[in-house]
Amino acid sequence: MKQSEFLKTVMPFKDKVFRVAKRLLVSTEEAEDATQELFFKLWKNRSKLKDYKNIEAFAMTMTKNYCFDRLKSKQANNLKLIHSNYKEKNTSLDRRMELNDSVSIVHQLIENLPEQQKLIIQLRDIEQYEFVEIAEMLNLQPTAIRVTLSRARKTIREQLIKQHNYGIS
């Protein structure tokens, strides 16, 4: 595979790889390193890429595995899960603060989910992958993805309701 063909194949999902890495790892720098490492591995194995029917799903699986390995490594002592890509312009300060608080709460609730639920929320609700694609990436049945996503959303919804109703009798 030529360089131009390789770039045409992998560049469309570069940002998705980065966002998944950022969801799973600590910082922008860690996510950038993970993204760079993934694309380096893809480049080294570019001759085998034609064997995969869905290169994007393969890349996302590689990203997930690499990030989990990083989290398990000794270097993971300082890693924590963060994600903040929400920005809104032309909004009053009060409204922006309220939105930031709400977004922060949701991010914190996602952070507290089990790893699999967290990853499925990221892939489905943020990256907009289809159930079949997520199932292929995670080596699960689409039905299992739907059930896990439903449980994750229910947990988040219940926690939000609990926080919003706190102190109200």
Instruction: Express each pLDDT in 60-86 by its tens digit.
Output: 888 888 888 887 774 444 444 333 444
Inside any domain, residue 3: no
**Is the pLDDT assigned to residue 102 strictly greater than 60?**
yes
> Residues 81, 113: contact at Cβ < 8 Å?
no
- DSSP run (H or E) holding 37: helix 28-44
R_g (Cα) of the chain, nearest Å: 18
- Determine how many CB atoms are found less than 10 A away from the CB of residue 80: 10
pLDDT band with cut points at 50, 70 and 90 for residue 99: low
Q: How far apart are CA 21 and CA 10, in angstroms?
A: 16
pLDDT of residue 122: 86
Instruction: Specify burial of residue 16 (Cβ count, 10 A radius: 0-12, 13-18, 19+).
Output: buried
Residues 168 and 96 grouped into a single domain:
yes
Q: What percent of the chain is modeled with pLDDT above 90?
A: 15
Domain boundary among 82, 112, 140: 82
pTM score of the predicted model: 0.55
Which whole number is the average pLDDT over 139-162? 91
Q: What is the CATH number of the domain that holds 122?
A: 1.10.10.10
pLDDT of residue 148: 94
Domain boundary among 82, 109, 137: 82
